[in-house]
Structure 1
């Protein structure tokens, strides 16, 4: 819709009319300005984790909306740290949690850095009256079973030597670095990213290498068994170029597939989802960020996560693309994890630190931001 048409539509709205707007459109300056001029009766943000980052245009545009009643819905109110929760409450109940600075001093630092249970309980009591939490087990009792299986990938001797060389190089770089705290944290993350990519496929770090990928080999074996038994699979990775390698393998094997990453426009995205649901493709390759929410892919009954993400809740949301209303078969989730590597350490974090959201909603032990020192230990102990 052009600007004039949008204005005509917006200012022609009558009582009890409903306007639906995408987040992508909301963050456009001219649209944001028009929407902020209206006094809305009710504003609902679905998948509200989209505004979790207070510095983004999307978040700023949402905060400018004026409404008598505001409601947000999300399956992941906290994906990384408590600052995201603060921003969500800034939208629905501004002032409840104070300024960002005071929130950090009163809650975020004591909870995330020092695991202060008393402070955590204070925060929980403060936000509880404004939360309605319904778990999948409560609302979808008729869903089929869901089984999760961790498959350890044994890297070849050559791959392990390559990985170890990268790890030692990373330690050397970080030991010699004199960067200030913020820069040092980013340097550590960059080195960890390189190690994680090496676990997936050595060519993701060194494109000209002749080293083969043990993870790709295990994936091929698992997928072969699934297809022989007429199953369909969703395959997730955080790395788009990793998905490209897998797609090339599928093409060479004559295995039909669909593909989705963040570069795919919305109409084509829907077309590919509909095609898969209608039977076109045995495998759907999806980037974790682009396809973690908002898709219904119940034609698949197997999910394969090619690499572990820091927060298991994000992986769970991706798995829910298949394990949802309309699924008639049991769902099996495979996680491929390179043994004795940084991937093993990330999975350990899943086991030892509960999801941040659950700690406030259910009272479990809390996991917060991962400090630079904790990240360094992941490299040093790999």
Structure 2
């Protein structure tokens, strides 16, 4: 039986509920505003205030003003009730002010007097209808503003535009783009059942709440019976074949969100071939620009790729594929938008998630122009991490693909949503909406899902271009070293005579002798003079930022990564970059005590907050277990194949449940490329001698000696 105190409390609670209910009846929109402002506040506290929540903030602000004016003017409300309602509205306004203080870019939204965009007007209408308000007909039917066609090149970038001379030659050779004769639908799109609903927020929510373990990957065709795409010596893996079959059947826009190491680059290159999407533009981070050109040559050798650097003076204007990095795209917008692109690939597409950045606006403007010029262009967004902070990170990618325009779904997606027969008021709408978006072209596979397709251990080379002053000085130093070796060679030949050498031939014994002498001098000189060891160290320093940047992107895609470097300054530079990128890392170095080293390893293996282990090739290459990761970045090359193998095997060991990929960062057009080739040839020694594999025997010379001999032959014109 309840006590007197309990009964009194219950009576008080009933009175409060009754009073609150009466107040809600007098201003039913206030509880809705209170709930919505808490949602916005929670997002802002987590730093996840995307476009939809910014519109929500704006609508709350002007509804608070509308409601305050209505409450003050309503003569049927008692003074006490009016004071209480105004107090509650002030509470909502206070939360808005605190949120704006946290994100000052919101302050300008507080100054807007009315809902201007169709999205904001729909949101205001839906909330008022939820509150039971009666609205005039002109507020019930909301039409979209006529789309504005923004110029590809904004006025602020007009002076930066460059037109390479070779591009002018291409345009003169073919001054008219081939007409697109594909029949197009005429007239306005028919009105649909969901036209009056605000749908972007519900679409994001559909992904935020998930689907009970259902993977976000569209249904792909089965593996074809025959591989008709692979060039001689290569083979498309089954999971890649299924993606390419989807392209063959006519699908043209994809968010390809496979984990790194599953061959997204090769898939994209072959997809362009299947769709005949040439000329094709590929926008990439600088660190993978050279790798894209190499993959085009490997998988579609009949096609020509050109890499755009700087002002584009050296590009092949008649190429099929144009590869450009994000940083310099703004200089090339004008001519890229005029050559009739049939497709665009955006690698590491999460780079464009910030819609206010010039980088994102450049990519989206080009994509819009390509869709205007070409019916069904091939549009590929590649990223293992489409979502970094919030589900609204999808926004820019969906816009790039043409699935939405930021305010509402595009016609094809709208048709799929309409076909569900549901609205956002129905709980069942959200899983159906998620499936509708996925069917537009989201493809997501993990290594563990396609493990049978993959080798258990893969070394993937990523050539990078050192196109800054530091990189140019390295290549100059290589040429000077080669010239010095060639001068020694010629002096010996002149002193002893050619002894019957054929015209143009070189004496390999003298080449070895000169290279050996240089190697011994380099070992004796240490770091005080320019030699092969100091040169390789400088290459490592030049690659440090690019390698660290790639490791950051990799970590955000697949989780934990082990980063190996040979020199302390390269490790220091990498750790500084990881810290600046907001990633927690641990370090394993030679000068550490055994206790400190083990603590770092334990933290990497067990602490989910630790994303990267920065390890010394020499100090951490043996005896360590770091199988919490399945991806390794080799920022610098070792001088031995065994040292490289030992480093990779810190991850590739018993207990590892996923295929392991080692990403080897190689400086293109430098001795680094030759060293990588020599290391691979030494790897063949163990495969031949111990594993019984039939591999051609290579030289027994050390990598250092072979590298110097290569430089000398190159200087003599015989490499």
Structure 2 residue aligned with 1:368, among 677, 695, 700?
700
Show CA shifts across 1:334-381 (max 9, x none). Answer: 000000111101112134444444443345525423388634323333
Structure 1 residue aligned with 2:678, among 338, 349, 356?
349
Structure 2 residue aligned with 1:159, among 470, 487, 500?
470
Change beyond 3 A, Cα 1:182–1:154: closer
Change beyond 3 A, Cα 1:218–1:353: same
Q: Distance in 2 between matches of 1:228 and 1:371?
A: 35
Contact 1:144 1:328 in 2 (8 A): no
The aligned counterpart of 1:243 is 571
Contact 1:234 1:304 in 2 (8 A): yes
- Kindly state the Cα deviation for residue 146 of structure 1 after the two structures are TM-superposed: 2.7
Contact 2:478 2:535 in 1 (8 A): yes
- Kindly state the Cα deviation for residue 169 of structure 1 after the two structures are TM-superposed: 3.6
- Kindly state the Cα deviation for residue 249 of structure 1 after the two structures are TM-superposed: 1.6
Show CA shifts across 1:133-175 (max 9, x none). Answer: xxxxxxxx9x983332110011115234201222234345555
Contact 2:641 2:683 in 1 (8 A): no
Q: Distance in 2 between matches of 1:197 and 1:176?
A: 24
The aligned counterpart of 1:186 is 520
Change beyond 3 A, Cα 1:371–1:313: closer
Q: Check if 1:338 corresponds to 2:670.
A: no
- Kindly state the Cα deviation for residue 258 of structure 1 after the two structures are TM-superposed: 0.6
Contact 1:356 1:367 in 2 (8 A): no
Q: Check if 1:276 corresponds to 2:604.
A: yes
Q: Distance in 2 between matches of 1:354 and 1:293?
A: 17
Q: Distance in 2 between matches of 1:368 and 1:253?
A: 43
- Kindly state the Cα deviation for residue 276 of structure 1 after the two structures are TM-superposed: 1.1
SS at match of 2:655: coil
The aligned counterpart of 2:646 is 317
Q: Distance in 2 between matches of 1:270 and 1:220?
A: 23
Show CA shifts across 1:204-244 (max 9, x none). Answer: xxxxxxxxx4x344324422322323511001111122111
Contact 1:238 1:288 in 2 (8 A): yes
SS at match of 2:628: coil
TM-score (normalised: structure 1):
0.53
After superposition, the CA RMSD in angstroms is: 3.2
Q: Distance in 1 between matches of 2:606 and 2:651?
A: 14
Change beyond 3 A, Cα 1:199–1:371: closer
Contact 1:144 1:327 in 2 (8 A): no
TM-score (normalised: structure 2):
0.29
Matches within 5 A, 1:286-297: 286-297=615-626
Contact 2:675 2:707 in 1 (8 A): no
Which one has a bigger Cα radius of gyration? 2
The aligned counterpart of 1:75 is none
The aligned counterpart of 1:25 is none
- Kindly state the Cα deviation for residue 267 of structure 1 after the two structures are TM-superposed: 1.6
The aligned counterpart of 1:252 is 580
Change beyond 3 A, Cα 1:357–1:373: closer
The aligned counterpart of 1:222 is 550
Contact 1:144 1:329 in 2 (8 A): no
Contact 1:359 1:366 in 2 (8 A): no
The aligned counterpart of 2:538 is 198
Q: Distance in 1 between matches of 2:476 and 2:568?
A: 24
- Kindly state the Cα deviation for residue 186 of structure 1 after the two structures are TM-superposed: 2.3
- Kindly state the Cα deviation for residue 310 of structure 1 after the two structures are TM-superposed: 2.8
Q: Distance in 2 between matches of 1:352 and 1:360?
A: 13
5+ residue gaps in structure 1?
1-140, 202-212
The aligned counterpart of 2:343 is none
- Kindly state the Cα deviation for residue 286 of structure 1 after the two structures are TM-superposed: 0.6
Q: Distance in 2 between matches of 1:267 and 1:295?
A: 13
Which structure is higher in RCO with an 8 Å CA cutoff and minimum separation 6? 1
Q: Distance in 2 between matches of 1:180 and 1:230?
A: 47
SS at match of 1:262: coil
5+ residue gaps in structure 2?
1-451, 492-512
SS at match of 2:459: strand
Matches within 5 A, 1:60-79: none
SS at match of 1:218: helix
Q: Distance in 2 between matches of 1:295 and 1:218?
A: 26
Show CA shifts across 1:59-112 (max 9, x none). Answer: xxxxxxxxxxxxxxxxxxxxxxxxxxxxxxxxxxxxxxxxxxxxxxxxxxxxxx
Matched length: 229
Q: Distance in 1 between matches of 2:614 and 2:703?
A: 32
Q: Distance in 2 between matches of 1:291 and 1:323?
A: 14
